Structure 1
Amino acid sequence: MKRHFHRAITIAFITFLLGSGIDYLTNLESTLGLDTLFQLRGVRPPPPEVVVVAMDETSETRLCMGQDLTRWRSFHAKLIQELHRQGAALVIFDLQFIAPHPDNDPAFAAAMQAAGNVLVTDCVQKLLRGVEDFYGRDECSESNQEPFVQKEGIQKQPLSDQLIVFRLIKSPLAQSALDHAPFYLTNDAENPTVREGWTFLNSLAEVPTLSVVTWLYYLQRSNALQGITQPNVLFSSWLTEQRRQCASDLYETKNSPAKSGLENRIGQLTCLGDSRYLDFYGPPQTLRMESYSNVYEGKVVDLKGKVVFVGKANRKFSPGKTDYFQTPFTDTHSGKMAGVEIMATQFANLLEGRFIESPFPPSLLLVMFGLLIGLLLAQFAGLSGIAATLMVSGVYVGLAVWSFNRSGLCLPIAVPLLIQLPVSWFISLLWSRRDLLNERKRILAFVRRVFPQWMPLPSSPGQWYPEKGVAQLTSERDVFGLCLATDIEGYTTVAAQHTPHEMWELLNAYYQVLGYPVSSHNGIIADVTGDAMMAVWINLPVSSQRLAACLAALEMELAVERFNEKSNIGRLPTRIGLHEGDMTLGSLDAGEGSHYRAIGDTVNTASRIQGVNKFLDTQILATATIAASLGNVIYRPVGIFRLVGRDEPLELIEIVGMEADASVSKHAIYKQFARGLSAFQEGRWEDAAADFQMSLDSHGYDGPTRFYLDLAVAYKKNEPLEWDGIVAFGQK
């Protein structure tokens, strides 16, 4: 358990550092992660109090405006009068009335004063890299594009590339409005997508933005500020003063039980941060949007109590570059969003008291996710661990989408899924590979220590032929011999339930039990790899080799059975396969070492034969040729099979036991099985099924009988097209 926790901590630490570093360099979470959450959530209903009056293409045509925004000035007075007549709560112009318009300004100012609920936008200019580069939503006006920072005594001198200067330009009409404030959005290649909205502009002496000012006026006019101290000055000035007090630590930023919830919200908005992530309601025109000309002509009649934002917004055609911005919902179909709609979105978020926020520090969430994934991968190895982490990651994504949809809480998903999860898998696979190599090293060390008579085989070819010196041997030699292959049934499941050290102790005892019958019957251990052992018999008469190998296999079966009964760590059921034929004894060079091995089809076939045991539910299988010299060893034919990777079929027998130990009932089972097998190989499925069923009913369970009964029933229903009596296996 301690080792698992150590690995989990390591995975969490590495993935956190890597994920945080990539996110810091690429803003992966605030771009891809946040945008994905918006796309998964989709559109949500905006507050009904918010209406955008769009100076759109239809209005341009009806009112004969064209692209010149100053020409709209002559219609604003009547628009305000119409909105005032209908009882609109507030009217906000997202337009910058910088250049004077003597013909229309008096009527416009009078309409604003009469309505008493109009707010206008101040212009913000941002100067970068000298006098050439102005960044503002409309650059205020051409007359304002003059250098506003000069070196002393030098005229028209370009500024330093690093110098960034802000300038606030108020409209001459601002004094006629209820209040005024800036609303600044970046519109350059470095910030292609708007995700945040400014609440205060610290670079402009802590000036609040227009959406915040509008929110406070709406609260005042809807009587939500009753019981809360209200200023005698404009809200824009009051908010600036409150912000400066926060900067001087004169204002309490924490929630106070003595204050109302709304009062605490105002305090937090004023003192905590200068921007908020916007909770967009959907693509452009998700907010209620009415055409300027329709409102102007009195065709829209349900604007009582609404907060109306007036500004430029195309509704039919692709918007131009000025004052249109990408949002998380922007695609080729939806297009960009107008600045006035972004302002209205920020006001709607303030109205709902809902922005995109993280419930915990993102770094803490990344550490917790990495730790959870690390614990799962440390507890469950291989594919089971990957499957467990995928399931947990799916639950986490579901929780992230649910919390985002319900309350705008943003949990990181891009860094956990795209960086932490695959990196954790990679680290876990490296650890698994290291554990496997260490386990093999321990097994080899054990074999060298406990069975020194085995080890000359892989290292010294002279031990294969003790009557000859090493100098007489070539690097390889072809011989005829018999190969015995073993494999532990369900080894992967057993290994997954124990630590490597526990498996070492288990295999340590297991191979001592398994190796003794081989050496006592003149066999040689050719290879030990994990859960498999290979033994060979060579340089003996063929009959002696066959008998010795079968006796060794039977003793191994009994020894493993006694081992499993006494083991308190785990059981290791063992399958055995025997095959004889030509082999090559050769030295394999691996790096700086050289290992002597038995190589050839005989070795591979022996391994394939032992694998047939799991289908027949037997323990010892051999090719039929081995039965020629078995003496008092009992065996029974179990059929002809075409093994994986071999075209030539093999007739197999089951090595059952010694003649002296066999009972009469066993002979009856084998006799009944032989009749059924004969009928099966002749294609008489019904007779074969009857014989096999009778054997099971009379003598109880028998693995080969059960196997052939199921196969006969299946073939009776769906007979093979060409039957030659050979059973083919499609897998190992």
Structure 2
Amino acid sequence: MKLHLLRTITIALITFLLGSGVDYFASIETTVGLDSLFKIRGVRQAPAEVVVVAMDEASEIRLGVGQDLTRWRGFHSKLIQQLQHQGVALIIFDLQFITPHANHDGMFAAAIRKAGNVLVTDCVQKLLRGDEGFEGWDECSEDNREPFVKKETRQEKPLSDQLIAMRKIVPTAKLAQSVLDHAPFYLTNDADNSIVREGWIFLDALAESPTLPVVAWLYYLQRTGELKGVALSNMPFSTWLIEQRRQCLPNSQKTSHPDKKSQLEQLINNIVCLEDTRYLDFYGPPQTLRMESYADVYEGKINNLHGKVIFVGKANRHYLSGKTDFFQTPFTNTRSGKIAGVEIMATQFANLLENRFITSVCPQALWYVVFGLLAGLLLTQFAGLLGIAVSVLLSGMYVGLAVWLFKRSGLWLPIAVPLLIQLPVAWLLSLLWSRRDLLNERKRLLAFVRQVFPQWIHFIPTSPGQWYAEKSTEALAFERDVNGLCLATDIEGYTTVAAEHTPHEMWELLNDYYQVLSNPVTSHKGIIADVTGDAMMAVWIDSPPATQRLAACLAALEMGVAVDRFNETTRVGRLPTRIGLHEGDMTLGKLKAGEGSHYRAIGDTVNIASRIQGANKYLGTKILASAPFAANLTTIVSRPVGLFRLMGKDEPLALLEIVGIGPDVSLIKNKICHQFAYGLVAFQQGQWDEAAISFETLLNAYGEDGPSRFYLNLALAYQKKPPLEWDGIVIFEGK
């Protein structure tokens, strides 16, 4: 009993320290655990009161403003009038009106004053290092380039890199005097490519300034009458909130009695006095919140906005690289694109409205301790595989609880550290102890035999590996399970070529052909795993994934060039070749067939690589690969060509075309890839007309392109007869 307790405590302590250390340095619980909970939970219904009016691409074209935000100001006054006509509660601009515009500011300010419910954003500038390179110049106009810090002496010594400062730039005086209120809203620079998970409630570096969603939330409560009976001053809420936060006492000195305050007062007190950031409860991918086009609202085409809170800001409907003020969230991916800053602002306001942010039930370290103790207890009570099975069952129940709490009320239980760090380490410790106990038991058995039956001592195996004679090393050496890359090739029109030549001619042709085909594989350290008729299979194993991917891509590209040269010189017949690449688990081994044996690569990875190779004939391409091949290959140019369900497979697979090596790819080819991406997004979203126009424009401008021709034909067919259920997946019926 004491031994079990000691082992339980040891497992809990080791897994807690290791899990906490990994989470401290890698933030695995946030980057993996929290993001996974969002993806498992899926889309959540957003409050109906929140509406985003998007300054989108369609509005840019219809209003003739382009991407220059300064040209929109002439339209804002009529937009406000349209919204007031419908009786909206608040209008919030996620725009910084820093630079005066004499032609528009008068009318704009008059519309704001008449509405009486307009809030705008202050611009935030952040000092990055010393007195150099702060963010915000572009957003806060050319008139605010003065340095944060002015030196009193002429010393050239730079300021410390640890000096960090922020300041806000308010709107022009005419607009600032007209609006209901204004406050800053700050997000991490999207150039950092970081995922936004938290939102600022207060910017303490800006003298405890509240952010715009908090200010808007109080004004909304005031306009709906919910603040009746709550003691508030007549000053603007942005100012009142600063004073309230400065009066907050440390936790140890708080003397307020919750039972003497209303529930709303207590909520406001918690928002004001607790953490300056909150984890946002995102409702889903971009455009999950109700979103209306700026031009549609401006032209009076949108109804049902009475009592709504309107957020106006830049928000594209299609993801295009290079756009600013767009960010990643746990829901964004290559298909959805990034989310607009105005949507994040609206999300934070909606969370305040629901009083629901992502919160932890208790310190996560405590959960690590509890999980380690439970896992250790089960693994010590149930030894070996039974203990592992029971611990897996417990982990499944724990994940179910975590998902349920997260979905129900936004409560966050850690899952990444317990499942990915603590549980495997606990298994390892348990198996090591089981092995140690087995060896100790064997030692006692040997000691007993020596004393009681010394004549049998020579018949006892000398090592545990000899206890099961049927599993000898010779029997286990016939196969090997690996994770690697598979390259499959096939000759287009091989049957026709073979029918036109004698067997001996085909033997000579294929003999030369496979010499050409195998050289790139061997030169890039690949292995020829199989050659059957007109197909060859090569694999890459025992190297880092990035190294294998690069080697396989380079081999495939060199194969294409080598085959083209071969076809130009051969006199017997041309052998155009298609190539498919895939990565996954395989078994390399020897198959016995009668008296002989053959070495093969076997597994679903091999089959999928062959299916990918076959997809070339539909898309008019030469080299296709599954999506992971694009990861970390900066020297290889590739383009996504869509999401497909291959024959015999239930799960869809994202494919990309291997175009070439970066410096060797022409400018025209790069333009084709860029234009194709735009059309592909439209096609996957079911916008058949827009997709057809995009692909037809590409073909007319740049000539024949296989994937563009494929999708153009498919889009035209879907225009006439759309699929009953469309999820963006193209189904291949053949190999």
**TM-score w.r.t. structure 1 length?**
0.61
In the other structure, the counterpart of 1:125 is 125
Task: Report the Cα offset of residue 167 of structure 1.
Answer: 1.1
Q: 1:12 to 1:128 in 2, by over 3 A?
A: same
3-state SS of the aligned residue for 1:128? Answer: coil
3-state SS of the aligned residue for 2:311? Answer: strand
Q: 1:301 aligned to 300, 303, 317, which one?
A: 303
Q: 1:398 to 1:67 in 2, by over 3 A?
A: same
Work out the CA distance in 1 between the residues paired with 2:229 and 2:156.
54
3-state SS of the aligned residue for 2:120? Answer: strand
Task: Report the Cα offset of residue 227 of structure 1.
Answer: 1.6
- Aligned runs of 1:127-206 on 2, under 5 Å? 127-136=127-136, 138-154=138-154, 159-172=159-172, 173-187=175-189, 192-206=194-208
In the other structure, the counterpart of 1:485 is none
In the other structure, the counterpart of 1:16 is 16
1:197–1:277 Cα contact (<8 Å) kept = yes
In the other structure, the counterpart of 1:404 is 406
Task: Report the Cα offset of residue 322 of structure 1.
Answer: 1.6
Select between 87-96 and 139-148 the one with higher mean Cα deviation: 139-148
3-state SS of the aligned residue for 1:386? Answer: helix
In the other structure, the counterpart of 1:378 is 380
* AA partner of residue 46 (structure 1): A
1:183–1:210 Cα contact (<8 Å) kept = yes
Task: Report the Cα offset of residue 154 of structure 1.
Answer: 3.5
Deviations 1:350-407 (A, max 9, x none): 0001000111211111111111111110011111111111111111111111111111
* AA partner of residue 39 (structure 2): Q
* 2:258 is aligned with 1:256: yes
3-state SS of the aligned residue for 2:414? Answer: coil
In the other structure, the counterpart of 2:339 is 337
Deviations 1:523-545 (A, max 9, x none): x554457xxxxxxxxxxxxxxxx
* 2:315 is aligned with 1:313: yes
Deviations 1:173-203 (A, max 9, x none): 2221001100000115556110000000010
Work out the CA distance in 2 between the residues paired with 1:149 and 1:335.
38
Task: Report the Cα offset of residue 248 of structure 1.
Answer: 6.6
2:131–2:159 Cα contact (<8 Å) kept = yes
Deviations 1:201-253 (A, max 9, x none): 01011000000000011011111111211221111111101111115779848
Any unmatched runs of 5+ in structure 2?
Answer: 471-735
Work out the CA distance in 1 between the residues paired with 2:443 and 2:137.
70
In the other structure, the counterpart of 1:243 is 245
In the other structure, the counterpart of 1:29 is 29
In the other structure, the counterpart of 1:56 is 56
Task: Report the Cα offset of residue 158 of structure 1.
Answer: 5.2
* AA partner of residue 35 (structure 2): D
Q: 1:284 aligned to 278, 283, 286, which one?
A: 286
* AA partner of residue 3 (structure 2): R
3-state SS of the aligned residue for 2:306? Answer: coil
* 2:216 is aligned with 1:214: yes
Q: 1:428 aligned to 402, 427, 430, which one?
A: 430
Task: Report the Cα offset of residue 255 of structure 1.
Answer: 6.1
* AA partner of residue 43 (structure 2): V
3-state SS of the aligned residue for 2:91? Answer: strand
Q: 1:8 to 1:279 in 2, by over 3 A?
A: same
Task: Report the Cα offset of residue 420 of structure 1.
Answer: 0.5
Select between 337-346 and 308-317 the one with higher mean Cα deviation: 308-317
Work out the CA distance in 2 between the residues paired with 1:10 and 1:317.
50
* 2:397 is aligned with 1:390: no
* AA partner of residue 9 (structure 1): I
- Aligned runs of 1:528-677 on 2, under 5 Å? none
Q: 1:42 to 1:76 in 2, by over 3 A?
A: same
Runs of 4+ in 1 over 6 A off after TM superposition: 248-251
* 2:80 is aligned with 1:77: no
* AA partner of residue 198 (structure 1): W
* AA partner of residue 168 (structure 1): K
3-state SS of the aligned residue for 2:134? Answer: strand
Q: 1:232 to 1:192 in 2, by over 3 A?
A: same
* AA partner of residue 57 (structure 1): E
* AA partner of residue 10 (structure 1): T
Q: 1:30 to 1:525 in 2, by over 3 A?
A: closer
Select between 421-430 and 148-157 the one with higher mean Cα deviation: 148-157
- Aligned runs of 1:263-274 on 2, under 5 Å? 263-274=265-276
Q: 1:212 to 1:155 in 2, by over 3 A?
A: farther
Work out the CA distance in 1 between the residues paired with 2:31 and 2:75.
40
Task: Report the Cα offset of residue 85 of structure 1.
Answer: 1.3
Deviations 1:305-334 (A, max 9, x none): 000000011113426342110000110110
Deviations 1:46-67 (A, max 9, x none): 0000000001111111110011
Aligned-residue sequence identity (percent) comes to 67
Work out the CA distance in 2 between the residues paired with 1:317 and 1:191.
15
Work out the CA distance in 1 between the residues paired with 2:460 and 2:89.
86
3-state SS of the aligned residue for 1:176? Answer: coil
In the other structure, the counterpart of 1:496 is none
* AA partner of residue 392 (structure 2): L
3-state SS of the aligned residue for 2:412? Answer: coil
In the other structure, the counterpart of 2:537 is none
3-state SS of the aligned residue for 2:268? Answer: helix
* 2:418 is aligned with 1:413: no
Q: 1:150 to 1:76 in 2, by over 3 A?
A: same
* AA partner of residue 332 (structure 2): T
**TM-score w.r.t. structure 2 length?**
0.61
Work out the CA distance in 2 between the residues paired with 1:82 and 1:144.
33
Work out the CA distance in 1 between the residues paired with 2:458 and 2:252.
84
* AA partner of residue 34 (structure 1): L
Q: 1:391 to 1:249 in 2, by over 3 A?
A: closer
2:193–2:328 Cα contact (<8 Å) kept = no
- Aligned runs of 1:454-473 on 2, under 5 Å? 454-455=453-454
1:253–1:268 Cα contact (<8 Å) kept = no
Work out the CA distance in 1 between the residues paired with 2:363 and 2:98.
43
Work out the CA distance in 2 between the residues paired with 1:226 and 1:47.
22
Work out the CA distance in 1 between the residues paired with 2:123 and 2:5.
57
1:147–1:156 Cα contact (<8 Å) kept = no
3-state SS of the aligned residue for 1:151? Answer: coil
Task: Report the Cα offset of residue 163 of structure 1.
Answer: 2.1
2:190–2:326 Cα contact (<8 Å) kept = no
Q: 1:258 to 1:140 in 2, by over 3 A?
A: same
Task: Report the Cα offset of residue 148 of structure 1.
Answer: 2.3
Q: 2:362 aligned to 349, 360, 363, which one?
A: 360
3-state SS of the aligned residue for 1:391? Answer: helix
- The alignment of Structure 1 onto Structure 2 pairs a total of residues equal to 466
Work out the CA distance in 2 between the residues paired with 1:124 and 1:251.
33
Task: Report the Cα offset of residue 131 of structure 1.
Answer: 4.7
2:319–2:336 Cα contact (<8 Å) kept = no
Task: Report the Cα offset of residue 445 of structure 1.
Answer: 3.2
Work out the CA distance in 2 between the residues paired with 1:250 and 1:300.
52
3-state SS of the aligned residue for 1:181? Answer: strand
Work out the CA distance in 1 between the residues paired with 2:191 and 2:423.
32
1:137–1:322 Cα contact (<8 Å) kept = no
In the other structure, the counterpart of 1:346 is 348
Work out the CA distance in 2 between the residues paired with 1:137 and 1:398.
47
Task: Report the Cα offset of residue 161 of structure 1.
Answer: 2.7
2:93–2:121 Cα contact (<8 Å) kept = yes
2:446–2:457 Cα contact (<8 Å) kept = no
3-state SS of the aligned residue for 2:233? Answer: coil
* AA partner of residue 352 (structure 2): L
Work out the CA distance in 2 between the residues paired with 1:126 and 1:374.
48
2:89–2:309 Cα contact (<8 Å) kept = yes
3-state SS of the aligned residue for 1:167? Answer: strand
